[in-house]
Structure formats: structure tokens, C-alpha cells
Amino acid sequence: MDNNFDVVIIGGGPGGYVCAIRLSQLGLKTACIESRGSLGGTCLNVGCIPSKNLLNLSENFYKAKNFHKIGIEIDNLKLNLKKMMENKNNSVETLTKGVEFLLKKNKVSYFKGTGSFKSKDEILLIDNKKKETIIKTKSTVISSGSKPTHFPGSQFDEKLILSSTGVLNLESVPKKLIIVGGGYIGLEMGSVWSRLGSEVHVVEFMDHITSGMDREISNEFMKILSKQGIKFSLETKVNKILKLSNSVKLETINKDGKNNILEADKVLISIGRKPNTESLQLDKIGVKLDKKGSISVQNNYETSVKNIFAIGDVISGPMLAHKAEEEGIAVAEIIAGQSGHVNYDIIPSVIYTSPEVASVGKTEEDLVSKGQSYKVGKFPFMANSRAKAINDTEGFVKILADNKTDKVLGVHIIGPHAGEIIAEVSVAMEFGASSEDIARTCHAHPTFSEAVKEAALAVEKRQIHS
Ligand code: FAD
Ligand code: NAI
């Protein structure tokens, strides 16, 4: 094989493989190196996809347990966790193979192995049989992603001390699961195991869950999850994790200085992720990192070394698959001489719990801290006819609009299908919509998205149904 390329991408996750496809579409000879043995990165293999599969299956199980309340009676409902995990593994395999097909279709060369810099324009590939190959390239895109942060002094063993990867692969339902960190992973995986029968206890050191989220939504979210049976200890610090033969003990201290011992079958550590840079030999070529260990890049994603670019979780910003994908496309277009661009003001985020939580743009706290004058429109799903028709009425839509211009600055939704509804407002915001634009747009009836229209009407206090 001819190992000379226009661009080599290190890492085949959502950032890397999307970038590779776009580069190839633009006529550049492209290679993608991936070390884990399958494409799709954290997202497809041990992140977005397996977690959403288990969220869906566990929700079905939970709903089925409650079907008798709505006139559907099932005898002998049982959980078959092994089959559930097989279903999850199959969806992962289908999607990762799909990405391999897409690379082939787009004529991207796929190398299995670990890539590192031998020089600025030479990548050393070491495959799983330790065979070494040198790949020459004019430009390189680093998209090596991120990995879970472990608790200080306690490495993951994936038996008692679990990372997000271990918690997606349990062979039995833990009686008691402690989760350190009330963020995305803690709340999604806490929901999964709680629905399947675990007693779930989340320990969070802030005074609220989902830090960075609009506070009103975060408070409502915690109320709903508590009602579902998840226990929370806020403003609580874990000092130490002790492993016993078949369980764990956590020494904690709360804001009043009160010590406590928590015991559980397993503990999930979900306190954030850190950039994955160790295997790349960046110091050999002088690629600089920032204080948090992310690769520093300029506006065009170029690192401190010319023609070496970085995107996705390995650079700063939200660690989200769609953010990595957008950057993958933008950097490909920049390398090809076009003007790729990502609008960081409009990156939606979704937590796939029940109900879902979705946000785009500024939170109320962001606007207050900037001294920006704004109006708020809110509408509860309790007053939405579709939600009422299917007994799914928790949550609300909140729209924040500029006080003078009426431009929509942020939208926050907790409620049924929030993760789908948020796309409507993201598009509206990309087009610079005002709340009146949304309010005057005809929405089909009966749909959950009518709650968005009503919240937009509520910005000027003229909602119809509440
Ligand atoms: P990654 O997906 O991490 O891919 C990087 C790849 O590079 C990896 O496969 C790695 O093996 C490879 N690699 C690293 N170093 C080398 C090397 N030297 N040589 C060769 N290959 C290398 N985001 C969402 O938007 N929605 C979700 O629902 C969601 N759910 C998640 C659930 C969980 C449990 C987790 C852990 C994450 C979730 N995320 C979600 C986050 C999402 O997975 C990441 O933001 C996304 O995968 C980042 O993409 P990336 O391409 O930057 O990196
Ligand atoms: P996170 O940043 O979402 O949440 C971490 C939480 O842990 C925070 O609330 C933080 O205050 C808390 N924390 C940190 N250290 C702590 C400590 N020592 N003790 C107690 N609490 C502590 O990180 P998480 O959940 O690990 O997820 C990592 C990233 O993966 C997310 O930020 C997100 O970018 C991505 N992800 C996205 C998903 C989605 O889009 N639906 C789903 C899962 C992950």
C-alpha cells in the first residue's frame, strides 16, 4: 500500500471519522488510524449508543412493570439482563460496522493500531501484533478523544469501582449503586440501573446537579429523579473509597463537616472526562497543551505546530459527539482551503433520562451574570394536549429572549421528547429568530412541540392554554 497521504487522522470517533469522510469528499487522500479495533470512538463503542440502548430498554422494562395501571396486564414479567446486554452489543456492532462501510465507500484508508508522531509529517503506526509502519502525511488531525477521570487514589477495576464503560457491562443488577458525580453519565446510568431495580445514591459536591444547566431546569430535574427513587447527597465530598471483598465503602463529608460512611455493592465514578493525549508523543513535535491538558488550538483548529490540527473531546469545549462532528467537518473544509466554521453559541445538549432534558444557548444565570436584560416565556407540559393524552406531563419549556430585540437567546426544556424538540429551536436560533417568529409559526396539533410555541407566546404573556 502507498503510505503517503494528504491528511492522516488519529482517532476514529465522531470527530475523526466524520472529518475523514468530508476530507475525502473534498478530494484529499485521507487515512484514519484507530487503536480500539472498531470505529466510532467512545460514542459508538462505550458512550452515546450503548447508553441510549440501555436507557431505552430499561425504560421499556419500567413502563411494562406499570402497565397494569393503564389496563395492560402482563403475567410473569421478568428481566433477562443477558439478553438486554446482547441487544445493546448488537446495536453497537451494527453501527461501528456501518462506519467502517462508510469509510470504505468514501475511499478513506483505515489503519488499525496506535498512531504517534515520529516527526511533524510522519506518523508511526503500531498494530496489535506490534508491527511498525511509517505513514507520511502533509497534514494531521488529532481526534484522540477523552477518557474517564478516576477518583484520586482509586483506579477503576470495573468490578467494584466502575467507570462509564464498566457500568454499561454489568452482569447482574447491583442491589445498591453509589454514583459519585451528578452529571450526564451519573444521571443517565443512575436512571438505567434504578429502573432495573438498584437502589441508586448520587453523591455530588456542588449544591445542585448537572452543573452549568439552567438552574430552574436543574432543580426540577432533581425533583423528578428523586420522585423516581434516586437518592441525592449534595454538597458532599467523598474523601476515600475503600474496597472490601464484595462491596465498597465511601467516607464522605458534607458542607457542615459531618462525616458519613456509605456502603454499596458498586460505585460508579462519573466526575468528568479528560483529554486522551498520552499515546501521541506530542512532546516530540512540540504540540502544546493548556492547563487542563486539552490540546491548545487556534480558531482554525491548528495546534502550536503548523499543519497539525486537533478537534473533538481532545480540545476544550463541551465533550459532545455532535460538537466533535461539527469540528471534524469545519477542519476538513479549512484544510481543503474553504472556510469551515462552528457556531459555539448554538450547540444543543440533551440528557436522555425520562423525562429528557435539553438546552441550547444561554441559561438564565449566564444572562444575569452578563447583566443582559431578558424576557422569559414558560409553558408546562401539564397544559399540552399531547402530553395529557398520553399521561406524560412532567416538565416545561423555558424560552429566554432579549428584552429589546426579542431575539431568542436560550431555550431549556425538561419534558417528553425534549431531545427532539430542541432541534426546532436550534434551527430558529441559527436563523436569528425572535420569540415572535416561533410564536407565529404554525405547529401541528396535538404535538409536544406546541409547548414551544406556547412558551414563545408566553414571552409576551399571551399564551392560550395556560
Ligand atoms: P472519541 O469518541 O473519544 O474517539 C477518539 C478515538 O481515538 C477513540 O476511539 C480512541 O480509541 C482513539 N485513539 C486515541 N488515541 C489514539 C492513538 N494514539 N491512535 C489511534 N487511535 C487513538 N455525547 C453526545 O453528544 N451524546 C450522548 O448521548 C453521549 N453519551 C455519552 C455516554 C457516555 C457513557 C460517554 C462516556 C460519553 C457520551 N458522550 C455523548 C460523549 C461522546 O462520546 C464524546 O463527546 C465523543 O465520543 C467525542 O468524540 P471524539 O471523536 O472527539 O473522541
Ligand atoms: P459531568 O461533567 O457531566 O458531571 C460530573 C459531575 O461530577 C459534576 O456535577 C461535578 O460537579 C461532579 N463532581 C466532580 N468531582 C466530584 C467529586 N470528587 N465528588 C462528587 N462530585 C464530583 O461528567 P460525566 O457525567 O462524567 O460525563 C462526562 C462528559 O461526557 C459529560 O460532560 C458530557 O460531555 C459527556 N456525556 C454526554 C452525554 C449526553 O450528551 N447525553 C451522556 C454522557 C456523557
pLDDT in tens, 231-281: 999 999 999 999 999 999 999 999 999 999 999 999 999 999 999 999 999
Q: Name the residue with the closest Cα to ligand 1, atom 22.
A: 11
Residue ending a domain, among 324, 342, 360, is: 342
Question: Do 92 and 170 share a domain, yes or no?
Answer: no
Task: List pLDDT tens digits, range 71-125.
Answer: 999 999 999 999 999 999 999 999 999 999 999 999 999 999 999 999 999 999 9
CATH code for position 224: 3.50.50.60
Q: Are residues 185 and 232 in the same domain?
A: yes
**Closest listed ligand to the CA of 50:** 1
- Tens of pLDDT, residue by residue over 315-341, are 999 999 999 999 999 999 999 999 999
pLDDT at 28: 98
Give the position, in ligand 1's atom list, of the atom nearest the Cα of 48. Answer: 30
| Tally of structural domains, the chain | 3
The pLDDT of residue 284 is above 80: yes
Ligand 2 binding pocket includes 319 (Cβ within 6 Å): yes
325 with 413, same domain: the answer is no
Q: Residue 451 Cα, ligand 1 centroid: separation in angstroms?
A: 33
Q: Establish if 100 belongs to a structural domain.
A: yes
> Looking at this protein, which amino acid is placed at residue 437?
D
- Residues 416, 419, 422, 424: is their CA dihedral positive or negative? negative
- Mean pLDDT, all residues of the chain: 98
Domain-ending residue, one of 303, 325, 342: 342
Question: Is residue 387 situated within a structural domain?
Answer: yes
Ligand 2 touching residue 352 (CB < 6 A): yes
Cα 407 to averaged position of ligand 2 atoms, centre (Å): 31
Residue 171 forms part of a structural domain: yes
Q: At what angle do helices 184-195 and 48-65 cross, to 10 degrees?
A: 40
Q: Are residues 266 and 287 in the same domain?
A: no
Annotated catalytic residue within 208, 341, 412, 445:
445
pLDDT for position 255: 94
* 365-370 mean pLDDT: 98
Residue 419 pLDDT: 98
Residue 182, ligand 2, Cβ within 6 A:
yes
**Last residue in a domain, options 271, 293, 318:** 271
State the average pLDDT over residues 366-380.
98
pLDDT tens-digit series, residues 41-67: 999 999 999 999 999 999 999 999 999
* Mean pLDDT of the region 453-458: 98
CA atoms of 394 and 413, how far apart (whole Å) = 11
Q: Looking at residue 110, what is its pLDDT?
A: 98
Looking at this protein, which amino acid is placed at residue 333?
E
Spatial CA neighbour of 117 closest among 140, 88, 94, 83: 140
Q: Is residue 466 part of a domain?
A: no
Does one domain contain both 355 and 412?
yes
Strands (E), 276-315: 308-310
Mean pLDDT score, 196-209: 98
Residue 417 lies in a domain: yes
Give per-residue burial for 154-182: e unless 16+ CB within 10 Å, then b: bebeeebbbbbbbbbebeebbebbbbbbb
Among all bound ligands, the one having the nearest atom to the CA of 350 is 2
Q: Domain with 392 in it: what CATH number?
A: 3.30.390.30
Tell me how far apart the terminal alpha carbons of the chain are, to the nearest angstrom: 67
**pLDDT tens for each residue of 391-428:** 999 999 999 999 999 999 999 999 999 999 999 999 99
Domain extent for 297: 4-147+274-342
Q: Does 33 lie in the same domain as 138? A: yes
* Same domain, yes or no: 320 and 441: no
Which residues, in sequence order, are bridge partners of residue 126?
A: 114, 132
Above 90 in pLDDT, residue 2? no
Q: Is the pLDDT of residue 40 over 90?
A: yes
Residue 119 and residue 8 in one domain: yes
Residues 236 and 360 in one domain: no
Are residues 354 and 452 both part of a single domain?
yes
Which of ligand 2's atoms lies nearest the C-alpha of 352?
Answer: 41
Q: CB of 165 closer than 6 A to ligand 2?
A: no
Classify each residue of 100-129 as buried b or exposed e, where b means 16 or more C-beta atoms within 10 Å of its C-beta.
Answer: beebeeeebbbbebbbbbbeebebbbeeee
Query: Does 1 have pLDDT greater than 80?
Result: no
Of the bound ligands, which one is closest to the alpha carbon of residue 17? Answer: 1
**Same domain flag for 240 and 189:** yes
For residues 6-21, average pLDDT: 98
Residue ID of nearest Cα to ligand 2 atom 33? 319
57 within a domain of the structure (yes/no): yes
Known active-site residue 412:
no
Same domain, yes or no: 15 and 97: yes
Q: Name the β-bridge partners of 177.
A: 200, 266
| Model confidence, pTM | 0.98
Q: Are 425 and 452 in contact (CB under 8 A)?
A: yes
CB under 6 Å to ligand 1: residues? 10-16, 33-36, 41-43, 47-48, 51, 114-116, 143-146, 164, 185, 276, 279-280, 312-313, 319-322, 324, 352
